[in-house]
């Protein structure tokens, strides 16, 4: 099987410098929303370009929510049919999976999808439900045992086609310098939103400071809670030891991981049921041979082997978080040993070669 064609429903606002050039060059894009709307604005506009059965479905759907999924499916399905493509795999139980669902209806193209986290855990008002997407699929992948068990409860009749394949990790980190900064650095990376739990990390830093420990904490990322976190940092008088570094390119993030002593991600579940599942950033930290401190949430315990590759605490518990981080800061040799164990563990359990092979096997079976 040669290189698979890649289609994107959206053209990105900007390309990440971390995106491989070869991957970007292979990616093709659908027409934008305005162009699609023009194509499907009337029966006359559609005649001659799309099968009558597709036109009928589009007209019948009308202005209901999700109409652009039909437009995308009608256009992309026609292109894929012409190329002889019979199966589509998409990531997230969101717009991609819903477009694939309609392509299966319009053109008989089978599909599968990988569900990640809030795309499954959080309900929405789309007419196509998660169960609809699962029922019509050839198979579904979830990225952890936790999310597979969750999905089995939601869709018990589809248990035979729900599989767990971990997100793969490619060992692409720059060589670690081995030189850690002084004072020791605590690092965290993520969007500044509720489910990352950064407010508890800031609170834990206040406890560490009050205990007499010398350290610097760096939170890398941006998001809607930036002002709230800055205010919290100021109120706790942590300006000299806690820094909001903003979003940074991957190579710079990697450099800062390599200069740190411990990685912390105090993730929590939010009021809407949203939560991290298998946070990729923890894999990146393990790949950088950092000990990890996180919470016993969702699939995090599938990544962090308690006491071996890091430490886990209950969510929203700043005191326990401070104790775990403090333990590593006070025993740097122990922290480095835990970090090395984490790197070995991640390379064995989350190898991208292994995960890609598992996914390819399922795709081949569906053809």
- 166 contacts 144 by C-beta, under 8 angstroms: yes
Closest CA to 295 of 280, 308, 282: 282
Least confident of 149-153, 179-183, 208-212: 179-183
Closest CA to 238 of 198, 277, 268: 198
Least confident of 16-25, 48-57, 90-99, 139-148: 16-25
Model pTM? 0.93
- 103 contacts 78 by C-beta, under 8 angstroms: no
Percent pLDDT > 70 in the chain is 96
Is residue 175's pLDDT more than 60?
Answer: no
Structure confidence by residue, pLDDT tens digits, 251-301: 899 999 999 999 999 999 998 889 999 999 999 999 999 999 999 999 999
- 309 contacts 290 by C-beta, under 8 angstroms: no
Structure confidence by residue, pLDDT tens digits, 120-132: 999 899 999 999 9
Task: Please tell me which residue, 251 or 331, carries the higher pLDDT value.
Answer: 331
Q: In what order do the strands lie in the sheet with 216-220?
A: 242-246, 216-220, 185-189, 262-265, 292-295, 310-313
**What structural domains does the chain harbor?**
6-168+352-366 (3.40.50), 185-349 (3.40.50.2000)
Least confident of 16-20, 42-46, 140-144, 307-311: 16-20
Q: Rounded distance, CA 18 to CA 175, Å?
A: 17
């Amino acid at each position: 099987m040669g290189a698979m064609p890649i289609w994107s429903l959206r053209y990105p606002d900007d390309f990440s410098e971390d995106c491989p050039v070869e991957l970007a060059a292979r990616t093709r894009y659908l027409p934008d929303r305005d162009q699609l709307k023009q194509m499907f604005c009337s029966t006359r506009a559609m005649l001659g370009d799309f099968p009558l059965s597709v036109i009928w479905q589009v007209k019948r759907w009308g202005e209901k929510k999700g109409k652009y999924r039909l437009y995308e499916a009608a256009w992309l399905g026609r292109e894929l049919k012409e190329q002889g493509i019979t199966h589509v795999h998409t990531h997230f139980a969101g717009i991609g999976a819903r477009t694939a669902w309609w392509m299966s209806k319009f053109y008989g193209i089978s599909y599968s999808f990988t569900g990640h986290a809030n795309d499954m855990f959080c309900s929405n008002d789309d007419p196509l439900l998660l169960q609809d997407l699962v029922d019509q699929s050839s198979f579904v992948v979830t990225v952890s045992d936790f999310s597979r068990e969750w999905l089995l409860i939601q869709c018990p009749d589809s248990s035979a086609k729900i599989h767990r394949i971990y997100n793969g990790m490619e060992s692409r980190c720059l060589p670690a310098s081995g030189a850690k900064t002084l004072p020791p650095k605590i690092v965290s990376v993520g969007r500044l939103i509720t489910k990352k739990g950064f407010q508890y990390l800031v609170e834990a830093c206040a406890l560490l400071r009050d205990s007499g420990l010398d350290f610097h904490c760096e939170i890398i990322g941006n998001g809607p809670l930036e002002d709230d976190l800055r205010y919290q940092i100021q109120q706790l008088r942590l300006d000299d030891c806690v820094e909001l570094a903003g979003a940074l390119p991957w190579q710079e993030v990697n450099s800062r991981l390599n200069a740190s002593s411990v990685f912390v991600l105090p993730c929590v579940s939010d009021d809407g049921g949203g939560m991290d599942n298998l946070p990729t950033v923890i894999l990146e930290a393990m790949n950088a041979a950092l000990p990890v401190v996180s919470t016993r949430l969702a699939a995090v315990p599938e990544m962090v082997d308690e006491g071996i590759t890091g430490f886990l605490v209950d969510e929203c518990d700043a005191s326990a978080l401070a104790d775990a981080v403090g333990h590593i800061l006070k025993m740097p040799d122990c922290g480095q040993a835990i970090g090395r164990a984490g790197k070995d563990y991640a390379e064995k359990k989350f190898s991208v070669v292994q995960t890609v092979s598992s996914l390819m096997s399922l795709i081949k079976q569906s053809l």
